[in-house]
Structure 1
Amino acid sequence: MADDDRSPEDEFQELLRSLLGQGGTLGPEQLERLAGMGVDPAMLQQMMRQLQGAFAGGGDGSIDWSATRTQALHLANKDGHGISSGDRQDFSDAFGLATLWLSEATTISDLPVPPRALTRGAWVEATLPVWQELAEPVATSIADALTAALEAQAPEEMQTMIAGAGRLLRTVGGSLFAAQLGAVVGKLSLEVVSGGDVGIPVMPDGEAAILPQNFADFGRDLEIDDDQLALALATRELAHARLFRHARWLRLHVISQVTDFARGIHVDTDALEDLAARFDPSQPDELRTALESGVLLPQRSEAQSAALARLEHLLATIEGWVDVVAADATTRLPSAGRIAEAVRRRRAVGGPAEQAMASLVGLELRPRRLREAAAMWRAITDAVGREARDSLWDYPDLMPAPSDIDDPSGLIARLEAHARGEAPERDEMDDALDALLASADAAPSDDAPDDRDEPEDGPIDEGPAGPRPV
């Protein structure tokens, strides 16, 4: 067939074969032909490199998270700006004074590692393992849905071949999601001001940090002195990090609740098939928009809604405690109240990247009852003091319940009784536990002595070594 008789589809297939055979590179003539067909050459070459990597790896079905790191660092480091020595010293001084003030406001001990100023790229590196852990259940679900959609649409005579290609497709689908996650984390790095800014423990255990590159954006419209703002944010960051280090169980509790929610996510295969049917390679933004909009994630199940309510309560309880402790520690700052209000509003609304994360993973990390939780912690502090208040973080079963946020008087009464040395009032849980223990005592034991006259093995011979069957 002459070159002039080839259809655009034939030309495109030839270019794909060329890409797969040449390491994902194109010559000047091929680039010109792609431009004529309305295809973005850079986008296509990147896609082909991902496909080649999947082929080279054998398509074992695992997700390659390297694309997440690459994309996130590309966005985080695109401005090329680092942290000046002056900024490092300013935030080091702020953390030093905030440490002293916090020691007056809470009994929870200081961090073993000095807090630090981080670049956006360093924040990505430090927090990426947690983002990957949170997103992996969703990535697996989307990759599996891609495979299921392919198997459902293929004719019966092709099922054997499709089964072999399923692992490859799962790898490619997971890689696409991983790259999209990297874009969201990279955008988050342009917004977050501190390690605990998103409400969940994304920083390594016992570490606190502030991002000077984003600090100026946070305070731009507040008309508050930078020194006051740095002290207030450093105090909040240290309080957040101290809490998670003190309550060792808390970090696992938050992460496990998030991942339990994510494991319940399933992909809307109808929406996925509709997207695949009309997907145009020359317009890759449609796939990105679909992932970011959450259109592939259907409405939450009842179990997920219940899990989300538990998580929101936990986050509100954490943020409320941080609010109260930070407020008590920064009473010397004239603008402390205005800064705290700005932080609360920011946490309630969230930035564009945080909203993109909610759409991508299907989860909004919002402490919806933050003000009520802070009011509860304030009432507890006023009634029993900071030591009794902070002791509620010692064990998971001491944590305030949602009903305590509604009305903290019962919790305060129990804490006051404990301070007086009185036994706590019995409740339904105590009665249920007593009944369970009583039923266990009444049940026959496997080790109970046998009251039969003789064992099945025969009469007992009383020898020098004691009774034994004969």
Structure 2
Amino acid sequence: MSTHGFGFSFGNNDDDDDRENRDNQNQNPFGAFGFSGGGSGGLGDILNQFGHMLSGMGASLNSQKEGEPVNYDMAERIARQQTEHSPSVSPQQRAAVIDSVRLAELWLDDVTELPTAEGSVEAWNASDYLSRTLPMWKRMVTPVAKNMNEAQLASLPEEAREMMGPMLSMMNHMSGMSFGVQLGHALGELSTQALTGSDFGLPVAPTGVTAILPEHIDQIGKDLGINSRDVMVYISAREAARQRLFRHVPWLVERLVSSVEEYANGLVIDTSHIEEAARGLNIESGDPAQIQEAMQNLQNMDLSPTITSRNAAAAARLETLLALVEGWVEFVVTQAMGERIPATGALNEAWRRRRATGGSAEKAFARVVGIELNAPKVAEALELWRRVEVAVGTTKRDAVWEHPDFMPSAEDLDNSAEFIDGLLGEADGEDFDPISEIERLQREEAEKKESEGDSGDTPDEQGKEGDNS
């Protein structure tokens, strides 16, 4: 557990090899799934990986379900190796969780129009987190892995695809095992460090469940030197606030998850730079010295494929939504707790450091799902919600969540003035009834025609009278 309080510490920062691996994964968000970069990438590495996988696959190869792009049985077994020794939740811890959530809900009622989620409150250990969140992780990982496999196949020359035809089933199983191994390690680490069922702002816990991990929170209090009771209430308030959003904003959960699916559906692999490097060998020249020089140059090149998505906007939309969720959560929690728990400011700062460090929640998300996110602009979102409340009040602030079209955009996070002006315009005309307005205009038009008729003669008759005169 990080000494900064809320960190997700993946790997050893003092190990040069680990640091190099992380750097490669930062350049390639799918490095966690076995698509890591590196100057020595090539057929030899692929064959070596296959050899290692073949030597130990045994029953694991057969455990992958037909049609699944990831060997989830293997992933769960590997993750459980890291969670099997997690202590069970004691009755005292369970009672503390229930009491903390109940207290947090009472305080939140004073600062938001959104009611409680009215679901169940559960106290989890690391093993519980793994079991209870795995279904949602599967939903997000599956389209990434599936489309990654398809993109890999599409990037191969047609002749190579034809040659691989008979081995395609075996290749899919190999890929599923590779995904399973990496996913298992990532989920195992995450399960031993998570604090709630939606640390990321993503609803990975089952619908209607407010989940808290007391053992991990107790350690946080020790790291920060803050009373563990205050930390428990603070974390419970953040989770309860998120659950209010997930429960009473019906479009939010699907929009968050579908953004991951949309991003995955657009995955493409660009190998043009690898082909260009191969042409640079100029084997046809027959000059051994020239070929040797080209081979040495290749050793210093990153020959990993470039992985992008045609739907990159989906990742940007996900970042914005996460920022708006976490910004709103921090704003209302600070309002609810600021005067009641003096340590709220220090806890907010610890939570912000969590996002600013290399072991942030976004890095953990990249490890598990394979999508590299920029750190959401939570500070900007928090300030936007503050300004919105000052401008239009709590009721109008929370009404913004009623429809996705009402939500601030990424641009609004950097400049909220226009968005707030729009809300002020709506507030000025909140008594405006479009049907009544149409009826009023129709009445005025009818009255105008009637008045013109009562004015006496028509223009033609007026002209005749003029001629007679």
TM category, shorter: 0.5 to 0.7
Match of 1:207?
A: 209
Residues 1:386 and 2:412 are matched in the alignment: no
Post-superposition offset of 1:367: 4.2
Runs (5+) with no aligned partner, structure 1 = 1-41, 275-293, 425-470
Residues 1:123 and 2:125 are matched in the alignment: no
Match of 2:251?
A: 249
Residues 1:48 and 2:58 are matched in the alignment: yes
Post-superposition offset of 1:209: 1.0
* AA aligned opposite 2:399: S
Post-superposition offset of 1:192: 1.1
Match of 2:198?
A: 196
CA distance, structure 1, for counterparts of residue 305 and residue 61 of structure 2: 25
Residues 1:133 and 2:135 are matched in the alignment: no
Residues 1:94 and 2:100 are matched in the alignment: yes
CA distance, structure 2, for counterparts of residue 397 and residue 151 of structure 1: 43
Aligned residues: 358
* AA aligned opposite 2:88: G
Residues 1:308 and 2:308 are matched in the alignment: no
TM-score by structure 1 length?
Answer: 0.67
Post-superposition offset of 1:66: 2.0
Question: CA offsets per residue over residues 201-250 of structure 1, 9 Å max, x none?
Answer: 21122221111221133333311111111111110010011111111101
Q: Would the alpha carbon gap of residues 140 and 203 (structure 1) be closer, same or farther in structure 2, given more than 3 Å must change?
A: same
For 1:97, what is the secondary structure of its paired residue?
Answer: helix
Post-superposition offset of 1:118: 0.8
Do the aligned residues in 2 keep the contact of 1:312 with 1:367 (CA within 8 Å)?
Answer: yes
Runs (5+) with no aligned partner, structure 2 = 1-51, 278-301, 433-469
Match of 1:76?
A: 83
Do the aligned residues in 1 keep the contact of 2:324 with 2:382 (CA within 8 Å)?
Answer: yes
CA distance, structure 2, for counterparts of residue 132 and residue 172 of structure 1: 18
CA distance, structure 2, for counterparts of residue 72 and residue 361 of structure 1: 15
Match of 1:168?
A: 170
Question: CA offsets per residue over residues 412-442 of structure 1, 9 Å max, x none?
Answer: 3333343343589xxxxxxxxxxxxxxxxxx
Do the aligned residues in 2 keep the contact of 1:147 with 1:169 (CA within 8 Å)?
Answer: no
CA distance, structure 2, for counterparts of residue 239 and residue 147 of structure 1: 44
Q: Would the alpha carbon gap of residues 350 and 377 (structure 1) be closer, same or farther in structure 2, given more than 3 Å must change?
A: farther
* AA aligned opposite 1:165: M
CA distance, structure 2, for counterparts of residue 324 and residue 131 of structure 1: 28
TM-score by structure 2 length?
Answer: 0.67
* AA aligned opposite 1:376: L
Q: Would the alpha carbon gap of residues 53 and 129 (structure 1) be closer, same or farther in structure 2, given more than 3 Å must change?
A: closer
Post-superposition offset of 1:62: 5.4
CA distance, structure 1, for counterparts of residue 67 and residue 352 of structure 2: 45
Do the aligned residues in 1 keep the contact of 2:122 with 2:212 (CA within 8 Å)?
Answer: yes
For 2:372, what is the secondary structure of its paired residue?
Answer: coil
Question: CA offsets per residue over residues 315-361 of structure 1, 9 Å max, x none?
Answer: 11111111111111112110111101111221343637863642564
For 1:241, what is the secondary structure of its paired residue?
Answer: helix
Match of 1:405?
A: 413
* AA aligned opposite 1:48: G
CA distance, structure 2, for counterparts of residue 272 and residue 122 of structure 1: 44
Match of 1:415?
A: 423
For 1:300, what is the secondary structure of its paired residue?
Answer: strand
Post-superposition offset of 1:63: 4.3
Do the aligned residues in 2 keep the contact of 1:118 with 1:211 (CA within 8 Å)?
Answer: yes
What percent of counterpart residues are identical? 35
Do the aligned residues in 1 keep the contact of 2:75 with 2:184 (CA within 8 Å)?
Answer: yes
Task: Return the structure number with greater relative CO, CA threshold 8 A, min gap 6.
Answer: 2
Do the aligned residues in 2 keep the contact of 1:380 with 1:389 (CA within 8 Å)?
Answer: yes
CA distance, structure 2, for counterparts of residue 182 and residue 86 of structure 1: 31
For 1:107, what is the secondary structure of its paired residue?
Answer: coil
CA distance, structure 2, for counterparts of residue 416 and residue 354 of structure 1: 34
Correspondent of 1:368 among 372, 376, 393 = 376
Residue correspondence of structure 1 range 70-469 to structure 2 within 5 A: 70-77=77-84, 79-144=85-150, 159=163, 162-267=164-269, 298-301=306-309, 303-331=310-338, 332-349=340-357, 351=359, 355=363, 357-359=365-367, 361-422=369-430
* AA aligned opposite 2:124: L
Question: CA offsets per residue over residues 135-185 of structure 1, 9 Å max, x none?
Answer: 2233224444676799878698xx3xx423212321231232123212211
